[in-house]
Chain A
């Protein structure tokens, strides 16, 4: 089928869909975890009962994770309304309200879904919409990821069609002019990478999409693959055409089974429609795609490590140069980019490099996608123009910390990034600015911490992670991170002294210098930034044996304030897993410290009107309290 016919078919499909009321339920991994499957079953049941034939489409994620399960009701000539936290009890009301009738069910609504003059979606009722610019996410949560016609109907594969009408050099130039930089974290100019690969004389070349999103706390690549997989495939096709490669690989981690399934389906569809295969859209350009399942190693996210994994080897990074564009997969010239980088490509080709380069800062162009997790009211995913301040993201978009607490810092870029304190939140999001603060764009995962989070413990957590994930090739990374971890353990156990903090800093700097790849080079970042910005907290752990955030278990104890304890209630005593609570009915309860494992159950179950259980740090404070007879 030629592309004109496919487009006609797609337009017909879309017109058909838009002329009827239809329901779209977000069922990505996160939506399912929140109960979206049950909502779909309930919808089917209720619709069938009423004999209504209304299309029910499973879509991806809009990044509004706090509102999951999210349901969108599309009605011809009416507002599209998004409903948040829909559960099975709300389904009937929704059907009778807005689907059958004209009652918009405002009490459940999150807002209306509208599109700006450039076709980018926004929700006017949400304040965060003012600050967002959804380029990559424009179809996420709207398009059916399992139906290529929907994608094409919304203008998909137009960028590819346009690119095929240009010379490969012209495509490379366009990417160069857009000043797009790699979204995998390091921010290498994408155009230069493409140019190098295009100029390489290797007869056979490969294009690889790096979807080995290993940062524990970042999930935007998963969302894009699950919500709009064709966008990635289209970007890879354009890249293949531009650099002269006829084979591509998408390397997706096995921990993302749903992303794998959806991308496999997308590949099948694209092959059926002649978009992937021997003659792409009827042209003389051929491109074959393979999907590779990753076996779970953080270091596979490093480009040379990833290529080793595809080759069936241990995923050990190697020295660069030669760069993959000169010596890549199986020794061939290889272009390797991140999911997001490829996803920008079709938009840039369609809208022109100039328009892309207009967005953002001097050296960081376009938008940036961040995952928002940790202590914020509105966790999820956001896409903002580069140059947006961290404060805007933290407060206007993520909604600030819950329970009127204050955000203390943001860890950006996962284990490779650093922790930026609240005092620097007016800094703009930009590759160079974040580097100058000791952090990096990295994966784009943002973890928000409030007063109840211990930065020392968090830095230790990241070290523990990279230490386990070090491939073991470089001594400084293999043993250095382990020693750093031991030092951090000493600190969180109250066994370190002030001199140890200097040793910690020195070794952290040495590990940076003595490691080959990004994993080792950036592994000490969390420690170095927290040492720099939160030195007081380290000193409290070391000098006073006190954890200010009351997190480090060895430095705290649980205590039941006798005056507050309602003597008749036995919640704590009944739920304590180690029978560490003494006291009989009618008497105040007390904690037998030797038996206590500090799981916090007693504190959670103590009725809020008493709130008798408290945490104290340092542990010695217990004796003080007891002496005072509190």
Chain B
């Protein structure tokens, strides 16, 4: 019942605290989880248990360019799987991984709510509608070129 006392607006719930950390850093580093455990007065193991249960939490940093391939139903029907495979092929990583140079990371998400534009890919929070393996390749070539010019 101790947690119920933490109900003021200023005090985040455990999950909100984890979300806030991830929003800042892009992932949850172990030392941060330790800090949360101390401030909430609960064990670190409990926090790991909670954090690994939910889909949005990551424990490794993301790449500079983060690619989310939507695998919702509408996207699946219109070839989202082929787009995800194309991304894996182009970046030479599997879904859930980050490239060695930390430039790209790839993730599959379940529905971003743009079903009429299916299949969609979200790159750094911008939605790319009506993708195909070929279109994705072209977009990734652009990103890779920008990287080189940097």
Which residues of chain A have a CB within 8 Å of any CB of chain B?
29-30, 32-34, 65-66, 68, 214-219, 222, 247, 254-256, 290, 292-298, 309-315, 330-331, 371, 373-375, 379-380, 411, 414, 445, 447, 449, 453, 458, 461-462, 465, 471, 575, 577-578, 597-601, 604-605
Contact = CB atoms under 8 A, between A and B. Distances in A.
A463 to B, nearest CB: 12
A296 B115 contact: no
Contacts of B120: 33
Contact of B49 (A215, A310, A314, A374): A314
Given A33-B127, A255-B109, A216 B72 contact: yes
Interface string B90-118: 10000000000000000001111111111
B116 to A, nearest CB: 4
Contact of A312 (B3, B9, B74, B89): B3
A414 B110 CA distance: 12
Interface in B35-66: 40, 49-50, 53-57
Interface residues of B, number: 48
Interface in B17-34: 18-19
Chain B contact surface mostly: helix
Contacts of A66: 116
A604 B86 CA distance: 15
Contacts of A373: 73-74, 115-116, 118
A219 B113 contact: yes
Given A373-B73, A373-B74, A32 B127 contact: yes
A494 B1 CA distance: 54
A371 to B, nearest CB: 7
A598 B50 CA distance: 39
Contacts of A247: 7
B131 to A, nearest CB: 11
Nearest to B137: A577
12 contacts: A32-B127, A215-B111, A311-B3, A380-B116, A414-B73, A447-B77, A577-B90, A578-B89, A599-B82, A599-B86, A601-B132, A604-B134
B73 A461 contact: yes
B15 A309 contact: yes
Interface centre among B7, B13, B118, B137 (most CB of A within 10 A): B13
Contacts of B54: 295-297, 315
Interface string B67-79: 0000111101101
10 cross-chain pairs, A with B, having the tightest CB-CB distances, nearest first: A312-B14, A217-B73, A216-B72, A295-B54, A373-B115, A296-B55, A216-B111, A379-B116, A33-B127, A296-B56
A600 B53 contact: no
Interface centre among A217, A294, A312, A314 (most CB of B within 10 A): A312
A255 B56 CA distance: 9
Contacts, number: 142
Given A214-B110, A577-B89, A604-B132, A295 B73 contact: no
Given A254-B19, A293-B15, A374 B77 contact: yes
B140 to A, nearest CB: 11
Interface of B: 1, 3-4, 7, 9, 13-16, 18-19, 40, 49-50, 53-57, 71-74, 76-77, 79, 82, 85-86, 89-90, 109-118, 120, 127, 129, 132-134, 137
Nearest to B128: A33
A415 B139 CA distance: 31
B53 to A, nearest CB: 4
A292 B116 contact: no
A297 B15 contact: no
B114 A33 contact: yes
Nearest to B83: A599
A295 B17 CA distance: 11
A553 B42 CA distance: 49
Contacts of B55: 295-297
Given A314-B49, A315-B54, A411 B73 contact: yes
A536 to B, nearest CB: 20
B13 A310 contact: yes
A414 B56 CA distance: 21
Contacts of B19: 254, 293, 295
Contacts of B112: 29, 255
A254 B134 contact: no
Contacts of B85: 597, 599
A597 to B, nearest CB: 7
Nearest to A471: B53
A365 B9 CA distance: 38
B74 to A, nearest CB: 4
A292 B79 contact: no
A461 B76 contact: yes
Nearest to A604: B132
A256 B57 contact: no
B3 A314 contact: no
B9 A290 contact: yes
B114 A599 contact: no
A374 B133 contact: no
Nearest to A214: B110
Contact of B79 (A216, A462, A600): A600
A33 B117 contact: yes
Nearest to A220: B113
Contacts of B89: 577-578, 597
Interface centre among B9, B86, B113, B117 (most CB of A within 10 A): B113
Nearest to B90: A577
B52 to A, nearest CB: 9
A449 B85 CA distance: 23
B149 to A, nearest CB: 24
Nearest to B108: A468
Given A295-B54, A600-B79, A34 B117 contact: yes
B118 A577 contact: no
A254 B56 contact: yes
Contact of A314 (B40, B53, B109, B129): B53
A314 B50 contact: yes
Contacts of A458: 73, 76-77
A312 B16 CA distance: 9
A601 B1 contact: no
A605 B90 CA distance: 19
A295 B116 contact: no
Given A68-B116, A298-B110, A462-B73, 8 more contacts: A33-B127, A312-B14, A373-B115, A380-B116, A458-B76, A461-B76, A471-B53, A577-B86
